[in-house]
Amino acid sequence: MNKHLEAVAKSYNKSIEDGRKGINRYNDLPEHITNHPFYTEYEKLQESVGQDSQRAEIKTFLSPKPHMKLIDLGCCLNLMFNDYDKWPSLYYGVDISPQTIDLLEKYIKKENLKVGGLDCASIHKLPYHDEKFDIATCIGVLEYFEEDFIVASIKEIYRVLNSPGRLVLDIPNIDSPVFEINQLIEDHMGRPDLFNISQTQFEHIIKDYFEVIDKQNVVGMIQYFLVKNKSEVRCHIK
């Protein structure tokens, strides 16, 4: 797990470094990706459905308010490019890439933004006390990891959310041919997707921790709209 965490961090560090040079590797994908039979469908879905943290459905479901604390898990640059800086809730960001956190800190200072904090950490070991947050996002993160990491992360997210805290997260839709495009792109970026469980298995993992309010297909991924179970978890995942 640790080696793959390092690889993911290194890849996102490189993306930040490239971005500072005006390089966007998503705009220069190799032909084995752009010539793939499902690449055109992938592009169409991006335009029509939207993907990742940009979707308006996320904010609508979380319904952020000024008194709320938001934890953005695997935050990337949502604060800069996906309008999270305009949410009324108090923003906290966690990312495994130190370059990402450094860039966000400079952006916050430049724009004179009020945030709760930024931390360079993995989501399976969060540096926060129990029930600190009201709402949470975890988009484009779990796809990189196998079941043991996913289980540990779900437990940590459950721990730091209050009741009935709301959470939006996503996992690969391994039954979707479009997900193969996501896999190829992430592999090209140096951070291969290792996700190795079915949708049914994932829902078994979360069932004692979160209630599924809705789930939506999003460009080879499934976004889950969840509420933390109010009752104490009785069946612990092993």
Query: Which domains are present in the chain?
Result: 2-228 (3.40.50.150)
CA atoms within 13 A on the CB side of 42: 19
- Residue 134 burial (CB count, 10 A): 21
β-bridge partners, 118: 93
C-alpha separations of 212 from 147, 203, 215 in Å = 19, 9, 7
- pTM for the model: 0.92
Neighbours of 230 (CB within 10 A): 9
- Structure tokens given for 14: 């490189």
The predicted structure's pLDDT at residue 236: 42
**SS3 readout for 58-75:** HHHHHCCCCCCEEEEECC
| Strand partners of residue 133 | 161
Give me the amino acid identity at 160: V
CA 178, CA 138: separation in Å to the nearest integer? 21
- DSSP H/E element including 171: strand 161-172
Note the pLDDT tens digit of each residue in 69-127: 999 999 999 999 999 999 999 999 999 999 999 999 999 999 999 999 999 999 999 99
**pLDDT per position in the chain (238 positions), as tens?**
789 999 999 999 999 999 889 988 888 899 999 999 999 998 888 887 665 788 999 999 999 999 999 999 999 999 999 999 999 999 999 999 999 999 999 999 999 999 999 999 999 999 999 999 999 999 999 999 999 999 999 999 999 999 999 999 999 999 888 899 999 999 999 999 999 999 999 999 999 999 999 999 998 999 999 999 975 544 444 3
- Residues contacting 86, CB < 8 A, separation 6+: none
